[in-house]
Amino acid sequence: MKKTYSIVFALLITTLANAQDFKKNITTAQTNYNSGKLQDAHFALLQMMQDLDITIGKEVLKLFPPSMDSLPSVQKEETVSGSSQFTGVTIEKKYGLFAKKASLNVVINSPLLNALNAYINSPMLAGFGGDPNTKIVKVSNYKARLTKQDDEQNAYRLEIPMSNALLSLKINNSSEAELLALASQLPIAKMAGLVQ
Amino acid sequence: MKQRLLLILFACAAIAIQTESNAQGFLKKLKDKVEKKAEDALDKKIADKTGVGNTTGNGSANPNPTSNSKNGRPVNTSGEGLKNSTVPDVLQQITDADLAYNKQQFGEARFSVQQALLGVELQIGKQLLQSLPAEVAGLPKDSTEDRVMSARYGWANLTIQRIYQKDDKQLSILIGNNAMYAGALDMYFGFASTQSNGETQNTKQIRIKGNKAIIQFEEREGYTILMQMGTSGMITWKGINFTTEKDMMDAVQQFDIDSIKKTMGEQ
């Protein structure tokens, strides 16, 4: 119980700190713009964008499930990181303490999105790809790519494009059916609404 | 005798059939001609009334030949295009972002910040264009080709273009705040051995007012100079129909690089 309180308290503190940064950057941007320092105003606006992305990332993280079936989440490996410059923000949570592990991440403005969307929406491209370990599936009305990974035993990866973000769910020592069942329980539409 | 009579009768019948078919062909041709004339006359009347040229008349005069394609569908020949979108009001967008943030509408706040960034970048671009020389190497600027482009989404950010042109000689400058290009250029500097193929040298490293750059020559494209600008920017000059490398270098030296860097917020 104590642990839960401390986590909530920590989240509250970080949210407040973000809000303060955002407000501070608003003032900096306004002051610099009014005094004609366009480059400094530009930098402050970029900082605001980063603050916002981190805030959005934290909101998305709240939607990540506390556990994946029998796999508990690893609190210390929860991350919201990155910048709004290129790849955007990465939100990641890991599950499982022993041999069986899963990880769920969302990358806003992922550079892989365009290629994945082309692959998913063009049957011809998917056909020519010719990878026997890959197939297109549907999860909660979202088209996705399911891949059986070679490097680990019975490891699967599911990639779901959501407007401008990419959600990936990875699990090892598992099966295709289990991965799809876990994915169907994720609030994908809510996450997509937050990141768009 | 009987055989001869039969042969004559057969020949007569053949001639009669031939004549009939000729007559039918002639009548058909006459009918087609009359129909065509009537159609043309009708089309002309319609065209006169509506002011739209016809295409059905085979070989008939088309009052506006460029307005119709071969398949009879109209082809656009008019329209003034889109008006330039106005530069976003930066201060208003910042206020909107603040309001949206307070309401926890983070997506809206993000959009407003993007718009504010766009506004600031376009203003920086316009400032930069004003600071560039009006004439370089005897070539006056072509202000109709001045461009300031900014895309907050995707890979390319701020890009500014200016073209100087006289007759068939042209110099263009493209200033981009784009870390991807600069990174690629940096990689290029690391591979000095790729500069020459051993016979003719098309690429070499140079310095422009103390800045690292690369000059290239391609027969079809002319001279190209790429200069790294700070950490995330790059300037590209393209010279068409410049006689020598020296001519090109002299033209490039006329730009105030330090001022460009300062305006773009680079060191």
What pLDDT score does B248 carry?
94
> What angle is formed at CA B185 by the lines to CA B183 and CA B191, rounded to 5 degrees?
110
B120 touches chain A (CB under 8 A): yes
CB nearest B106 (choices: A29, A43, A52): A52
What pLDDT score does B114 carry?
86
The CA-atom distances, in angstroms, between B46 and each of A33, B55, B66, B75 are 61, 12, 19, 20
Residue contact A45–B264, C-beta within 8 A: no
CA–CA dist A101, A174 (Å, integer): 9
- The residue-averaged pLDDT of B29-57 equals 59
Q: How confident is the model at residue B75 (pLDDT cuts 50, 70, 90)?
A: confident
Task: Return the beta strands (E) in A112-153 as ranges.
Answer: 134-139, 142-149
Chains A & B: contacts with CB separation below 8 Å: 64
Closest-CA distance of chain A to residue B61, Å: 47
CB distance B122 to B148 below 8 Å: yes
CA–CA dist A13, A16 (Å, integer): 5
CA–CA dist B222, B240 (Å, integer): 5
Residue contact B90–A53, C-beta within 8 A: no
| Most confident of the following: A70-74, B146-150, B240-244 | B240-244
Q: How confident is the model at residue B93 (pLDDT cuts 50, 70, 90)?
A: very high
B107 touches chain A (CB under 8 A): yes
CB distance A167 to A190 below 8 Å: no
A192 touches chain B (CB under 8 A): no
Q: How many CB atoms lie within 10 A of CB B154?
A: 10
Q: How many CB atoms lie within 10 A of CB B233?
A: 22
* Least-confidence region, from A132-141, B52-61, B124-133: B52-61
The CA-atom distances, in angstroms, between A15 and each of A54, A57, A80, B228 are 9, 11, 12, 39
Q: Please report the ipTM that was assigned to this predicted complex.
A: 0.71
CA–CA dist A84, A107 (Å, integer): 11
Interface test with B, best of A20, A46, A47, A48 (most B CBs within 10 A): A48
Closest-CA distance of chain A to residue B106, Å: 7
Residue contact B127–A38, C-beta within 8 A: yes
Give the model confidence (pLDDT) of A22-45 as tens digits. 899 999 999 999 999 988 898 899
CA–CA dist A162, A185 (Å, integer): 16
Task: Please choose, from the candidates B218, B220, B252, B224, the residue with its C-alpha nearest in 3D space to the C-alpha of residue B238.
Answer: B224
Q: How confident is the model at residue A7 (pLDDT cuts 50, 70, 90)?
A: very low
B179 touches chain A (CB under 8 A): yes
**Cβ contacts of B116 on chain A, cutoff 8 Å:** 29, 45
Task: Please choose, from the candidates A124, A108, A123, the residue with its C-alpha nearest in 3D space to the C-alpha of residue A161.
Answer: A108
**Cβ contacts of B113 on chain A, cutoff 8 Å:** 45, 48-49, 52
A63 touches chain B (CB under 8 A): no
Give the model confidence (pLDDT) of B107-145 as tens digits. 889 889 988 988 888 888 888 899 999 999 999 999 888
Q: What are phi and psi of A103, to 5 degrees?
A: -140, 140
A30 touches chain B (CB under 8 A): yes
CA–CA dist A57, A51 (Å, integer): 10
**pTM, 2 dp:** 0.63
CA–CA dist B171, A19 (Å, integer): 48
CA–CA dist A45, B150 (Å, integer): 15
